[in-house]
Amino acid sequence: MTATASTAIGQRSLGDPSLLFPLARPLLTGCPATSTEEMQYPLEIDYDYAKVPRDIFAQPPLPGLARWAPLLPPLVPELSMGEGGTALIESEAIGRWLGLDLPVWLKDESRNPTWSHKDRLNYCIVSTAVKTGAPGIAVASTGNHGAAAAAYARRAGLPCVVISTRDAQPAFVHLQAALGSTFLQVEGSARWPTLRRIIEETGFMPASNLTRFHTGNPFGPEGYKTIAYEIFAQLGRELPGTVVLPTGYGEMLFGVHKGFRELKRLGLTHRVPRLLSAEPIVRAPLARAMAQNVAAAEVSGPASIAAGIACTVSSYRAAVALRESGGRPLTFHDDVLREAATRLAHEGLWQEFSGVAGLAALHEAVRRGEAIEEPVVVVLTSTGLKEMPAVVPPPPAEPVSLDDLIAALKRGAGA
């Protein structure tokens, strides 16, 4: 891994990109200058791009985000758990199911240290907490995000409070117990007030958002840029036409777009791929914001089986990513999501429902006749092991006879 230092120069406002705030004091409630009661604007990390060694893009996309250090916030190398470097898998069968002309590329983020994309985000956040002397980490999450935050915090020797809900998946309850975090299961409505109080009274660094419209921790989404760097390397220094991503608050969407934007800025490419967001149709605040041409939107709506991304508010950074990339928001129905998860499992890859949102949304878009620029990369975000979906039936209590089974296997094999 390269020992080159970060070239980060400050926190830049997305509300007014002329505003640059120093790195030293992380701005955790959005841009202080441009945010209002009505709208809150996130910040991003800016870099001295002239100082970025171009040859970091000549390296193979192996695990360990510190290899991209010049284009990330200051990292603590010892905190790395070999995050990133995830497989990109070509699938003809899924491409056919989607209705594409070419095979689709699947970026499997379940190959990360806590088996989701959130490790990229939380490595950056916890590094920032260590660098700035935060006494701990606090996160509101029912799942992947809390798992990754707790793992990196524990590795850093920082206490971590995870504020979850009473219906948290057993896998996460056990994971948090194993990591030794303080795991709170509270009523849904109490999550954000609880998080805010803990942050205010302890000075812990939030890995979660503290504003009405999502602004979040500006250091986190930088980690997702490495997905773009890896895709570029894995496709042989070529770009896909389109990248489709499961989208909740849009941190990954923005990070991946920013990664591609940087490749262009640094002269390695001449365009950026179109980014398509995938939200459950029952809520889909980003789709609403784009349709109304506003910075962000708040919606209400029933739950989705895509629990990890069924958000009720969007973020300005998500809208920026779609607009700048020439992309657009997609939505999906839960029944198509179930079918996508099943189709993918039948290719050997088992993801939680939120993880296959990109496949479901793309399937619906192609069925509607929308043009899709190929080749397409779909990002898969987390293992099916974290979710025990009620729709997957347990094996029959009444076992079939071995004679009947063997006869059936022979018929099947002969068919």
Identify residues 310-369 at the interface with a copy of itself (CB under 8 A).
341-342, 345-350
* Closest to a copy of itself by CB, 74 or 384: 384
| Spatial CA neighbour of 271 closest among 315, 325, 340 | 325
* Closest to a copy of itself by CB, 134 or 320: 134
Identify the residue among 96, 271, 367, 410 touching a copy of itself (CB under 8 A): 410
| Spatial CA neighbour of 285 closest among 246, 316, 312 | 312
413 binds a copy of itself (CB under 8 A): yes
Please, which of residues 199-218 interact with a copy of itself by CB under 8 A? 201-204
Identify the residue among 9, 56, 76, 89 touching a copy of itself (CB under 8 A): 89
* Closest to a copy of itself by CB, 5 or 409: 409
Token pair belonging to 70: 């010049």
Please, which of residues 379-408 interact with a copy of itself by CB under 8 A? 383-386, 388-389, 392-395, 399, 402, 405-406
Tell me if residue 343 falls in helix, strand or coil. Answer: helix
Q: Give the strands of the sheet with 104-108, arranged side by side.
A: 88-91, 104-108, 376-380, 242-246, 274-280, 328-332
**Interface with a copy of itself by CB under 8 A: which range of 43-51, 109-117, 255-263, 284-292?**
109-117
Identify the residue among 4, 34, 132, 185 touching a copy of itself (CB under 8 A): 185
**Interface with a copy of itself by CB under 8 A: which range of 195-203, 276-284, 287-295, 353-361?**
195-203
151 binds a copy of itself (CB under 8 A): yes
For residue 357, what are the contacts with CB-CB under 8 A and spacing of at least 6?
245, 246, 247, 278, 279, 280, 306, 309, 332, 337, 381
Q: Find the helix or strand (DSSP H, E) in which 139 lies.
A: strand 137-140
For residue 104, what are the contacts with CB-CB under 8 A and spacing of at least 6?
90, 91, 94, 95, 98, 375, 376, 377, 378
CB 52 within 8 A of CB 100: no
How many residues are present in the chain?
Answer: 415
| Spatial CA neighbour of 323 closest among 366, 266, 276, 377 | 276
What is the C-alpha separation between 282 and 291, in angstroms, rounded? 15
Shortest Cβ 230–a copy of itself spacing (Å): 10
Identify the residue among 20, 33, 58, 177 touching a copy of itself (CB under 8 A): 177
CB 269 within 8 A of CB 241: no
- Dihedral of CA atoms 195, 199, 205, 206 in degrees, nearest 10, equals 20
**Interface with a copy of itself by CB under 8 A: which range of 3-11, 38-46, 167-175, 249-257?**
167-175
Binding mask 43-82 for a copy of itself (x = CB under 8 A): -----------------xxxxx-------------x-xxx
Size of interface with a copy of itself, in residues (CB under 8 A)? 80
* Closest to a copy of itself by CB, 292 or 342: 342
Token pair belonging to 177: 């117990």
What is the C-alpha separation between 57 and 167, in angstroms, rounded? 43
Shortest Cβ 226–a copy of itself spacing (Å): 14
128 binds a copy of itself (CB under 8 A): no
* Closest to a copy of itself by CB, 11 or 116: 116
Residue type, 293: N
Angle (CA) 246-351-306 rounded to 5° is: 45
What is the C-alpha separation between 70 and 67, in angstroms, rounded? 8
* Closest to a copy of itself by CB, 22 or 180: 180
Shortest Cβ 413–a copy of itself spacing (Å): 3
137 binds a copy of itself (CB under 8 A): no
29 binds a copy of itself (CB under 8 A): no
Instruction: State the burial class of residue 291 (Cβ atoms within 10 Å of its Cβ: 0-12, 13-18, 19+).
Output: exposed
**Interface with a copy of itself by CB under 8 A: which range of 172-180, 206-214, 240-248, 315-323?**
172-180
* Closest to a copy of itself by CB, 11 or 141: 141
Shortest Cβ 80–a copy of itself spacing (Å): 7
